[in-house]
Chain A
Amino acid sequence: MNFLAWRDIRVNLMRFLLAAAGVGFLLTGCIGIIGLYRGIVHDALLTIDAIGADLWVVQGGRAGPFAEGSAVSATLDRRVEGIAGARHVRRFVQNNLQFRINGRVLRIAVTGLDFPKDRGEWLALSDGRMIQAARREVIADASLGLPLGDVLRLGRDEYRVVGITSGLVDMSGDGMLFATIPDAADIADTKPSEAVLLDRAQGLGPMADRPSRISAVILSVAPGADAAEVARQIAAWGDVGVLTADQEREVLVNSRLWRLRLQILFFAILLLTVTCVVISMTMYNSTVEKLHQIAMLKLIGARDSFILSMILQQALLIGVAAYVMAFGLAQLLFPYFPRHVELQPADLVMIFGGMLLACLLGSWFGIARALRVGAKEVLA
């Protein structure tokens, strides 16, 4: 530790702390914005990862059902079941809807379970049980704030909350609510009475408001079967497309989220640039204040390396103190943010590296100014 750097900080502690706090808040923003992106990706992949299907059969020519819309026949699952090597074939549907429940406006990702083949066994329940009846039972994520046993009115019918999951939200951050596929369809396709009357007036039958389409069919591949071959056979039908779980992930991250990714990268760069500017200003001002002392140091024979290390160590100390503060704030505040903010060790290391780089660049202006000072300026 440079003798002068430490003594200067000791005496001008408030200035040091304020500079570190300013940089710290910027780094908190940087950590937060990258964590938010990671959280969105995590949330987006939650359903795909939790369901654990090997293949997703979607509308032909589309990369649905998450990256873009997808609608396939509600009976497609029966065709898929006929393919050799396919097992655990289930229908999948998900709709984002908004309801007013108990005076609160709730956005809900209503997800269909293909009961009785799928009772929600793949869901990690924190409370309650899986769905046991074909109608009027739902499993709600804790983020929706719906208590176990609560009875909700969604559309025309009432549903009882029989199970609670934790941390299951979709890409938009809407909490998931799992119902059987007919219930999910009912909830999504609720029409006002006037709309039903108009349909009837146009000669549409009583089932006109019943959906005949779902988002996708998901399946696992039997042990020993070749997933690529199963996918090839299904794709050969021509009216549907087949995506593997990895392709679904890639489509989400690289297609649906790429703009967000780019935007967050720009924000992170912007924040690091501002951090760099703040450190530069702090170090430059601090150096300008000390020009006479630096001239004195040169007069008594201090090497440039001594002066350089004094400025650099102060900048690095500001950066490290700011990072510690930012890390502490992140741990303290981010759990209370409305969206999941995921702090990944690799990102934290990268931000720390970026901060060190900002300190090096920021102190360069101060160092350049200090090196231009001549010893004889003591006499000025």
Chain B
Amino acid sequence: MIAADELATWFAAQQEVVRLEHVSITYPAGDGGAVRALNDVCAALHAGEMVGIFGPSGCGKTTMLMAAGLLEPPTSGVVRFGAASAADFSTEGRIRDFRRRNIGFVFQKPNLIPYLTATENVALAMIVDGMPVIDASRRAVGLLEALDVAHRAENFPAQLSGGEQQRVAVARALANEPALVLADEPTAALDSRRGRQVMELLLGIAHDRKAAVAVVTHDPRSVDLFDRVLEMEDGRIVGERRPAMATGLA
């Protein structure tokens, strides 16, 4: 069994953060049949790159993200984090320990806890990892400063704009310095200017913090920011392009 801490150290030294090897995910359908959401997907995410996952609705983009984020176990195939496969995490508790220290999530909705301030929302990710509240709060303020939303540190989510809420959500995703950041439609609820800002923020995380960032999106407006783009269709990856080529997807 490989400990989450050891893997975090391993990530720091390796380029490849996560690899999906022939991953398929099948759900039972209402008529007694089965729906194959992912079909033999092979992909890898590397430290320091931001990868865009594009495709029509229902093509399996979010399911792929869930597989990479250990939220959905593959029906077949393997999700590898360095030397370890997801199957090595024998319990839900171990999966959560790993996720807490190595994976950050950003969603279309910020999913902030309404009765916590911006600082507390960010600090929460560190508090559940055992960090004392005072230390976590201090670090959370630092992250909010880095994301240019420190002036809202003591405000509750309802007092923040959509863009500010999303920045707080990004700060929370970065709280434990994850090697992998998974974002599912993070700009869908934002106007184009704020959406662009969030995408640039994620790009900065990939390039400056050397995290692997995967972004599921329908929005082609920021496609030029991605280092790599994966195109999906019917649960499969049907294309892989560099940004210049991907721009044509629009």
Contacts and interface: CB of A to CB of B under 8 A. Distances in A.
Interface of A: 3-4, 7-8, 10-12, 292-293, 296-304, 306, 374-376, 378-379
Contacts of B16: none
Interface stretch (B44-52, B123-131, B237-245): B123-131
B111 A303 contact: no
A335 to B, nearest CB: 41
B105 interface: yes
Contacts of B62: 379
29 contacts: A3-B120, A3-B127, A3-B133, A4-B116, A4-B124, A7-B116, A8-B115, A11-B114, A11-B115, A292-B111, A296-B113, A297-B128, A299-B105, A300-B100, A300-B124, A300-B125, A301-B97, A301-B98, A301-B128, A301-B129, A301-B176, A302-B100, A303-B96, A376-B71, A376-B72, A378-B105, A378-B107, A379-B71, A379-B107
B154 to A, nearest CB: 13
B115 A301 contact: no
A303 B125 CA distance: 11
B19 interface: no
A287 to B, nearest CB: 14
Name A's interface SS: helix
Interface string B113-150: 11110001000110111000100000000000000000
Interface residues of B, number: 29
B184 interface: yes
Contacts of A374: 71
- Interface hub of A7, A11, A12, A379 (most chain B Cβ within 10 A): A379
A11 B114 CA distance: 9
A3 B66 contact: no
Interface in B130-185: 133, 156, 172, 176, 184
Interface string B55-91: 0000000100010000110000000000000000000
Nearest to A299: B105
Given A3-B133, A306-B128, A296 B111 contact: yes
- Across the A-B interface, the 7 shortest Cβ-Cβ residue pairs: A301-B100, A11-B115, A302-B128, A376-B71, A301-B96, A301-B99, A300-B125
Contacts of B101: 301
Nearest to B120: A7
Nearest to B72: A376
A308 B235 CA distance: 37
Contact of A299 (B99, B120, B127, B176): B99
B248 interface: no
B97 A300 contact: no
B28 interface: no
Nearest to A3: B127
A379 B101 CA distance: 20
Nearest to B115: A11
Contacts of A299: 71, 99, 105
B72 A303 contact: no
Given A301-B129, A378-B107, 12 more contacts: A4-B113, A7-B115, A296-B111, A296-B113, A300-B99, A301-B176, A302-B96, A303-B93, A303-B96, A376-B71, A378-B111, A379-B107
B66 A376 contact: yes
